[in-house]
């Protein structure tokens, strides 16, 4: 699978949170998220392992009840079924890989 830049394929996940699938394989799912300052992703969990990289912006993660401040260049891995959420402190661009692929994002 190969995709090119396309600003039209973003989908709204929550207020201030949009995403697009960039590439999907048999075991992985690459996504790009745009998060607006002041938005929140409430505490949740899912069966997918989640590995991410903060390209730009600032946010605070809560992962398994522990807070982590993240700035551009930060990276993370969240195991499946672990509760996590995000408070967006500045507009952010995030790249994340989920395994297995997130059917709900396709």
pLDDT tens, N- to C-terminus, the chain (106 residues): 778 778 778 999 999 999 999 999 999 999 999 999 999 999 999 999 999 999 999 999 999 999 999 999 999 999 999 999 999 999 999 999 999 999 888 8
- In the chain, how many domains are there? 1
17 Cβ neighbours under 8 A, 6+ residues apart:
33, 34, 35, 36, 39, 41
Is-above-0.75 flag for pTM?
A: yes
In this structure, what token pair is assigned to residue 1? 């699978």
How far, in Å, CA of 52 to CA of 32, rounded? Answer: 10
Q: Which domain holds residue 51?
A: 14-105
The answer to whether residue 97 is domain-embedded is yes
59 Cβ neighbours under 8 A, 6+ residues apart:
35, 69, 70, 86, 87, 88, 89, 90, 92
The answer to whether residue 4 is domain-embedded is no
The answer to whether residue 94 is domain-embedded is yes
CATH of the domain at 26: 2.60.120.10
The answer to whether residue 66 is domain-embedded is yes
């Amino acid at each position: 699978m190969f995709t090119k830049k396309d600003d039209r394929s973003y989908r709204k996940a929550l207020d201030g949170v949009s995403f697009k699938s960039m590439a999907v394989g048999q075991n992985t799912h690459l996504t790009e998220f745009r998060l607006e300052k002041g938005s929140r992703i409430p505490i949740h969990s899912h069966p997918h392992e989640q590995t991410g990289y903060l390209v730009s912006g600032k946010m605070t993660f809560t992962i398994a009840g522990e807070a982590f401040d993240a700035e551009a260049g930060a990276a993370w891995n969240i195991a499946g079924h672990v509760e996590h959420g995000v408070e967006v402190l500045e507009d952010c661009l995030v790249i994340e890989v989920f395994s297995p692929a997130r059917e709900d994002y396709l």
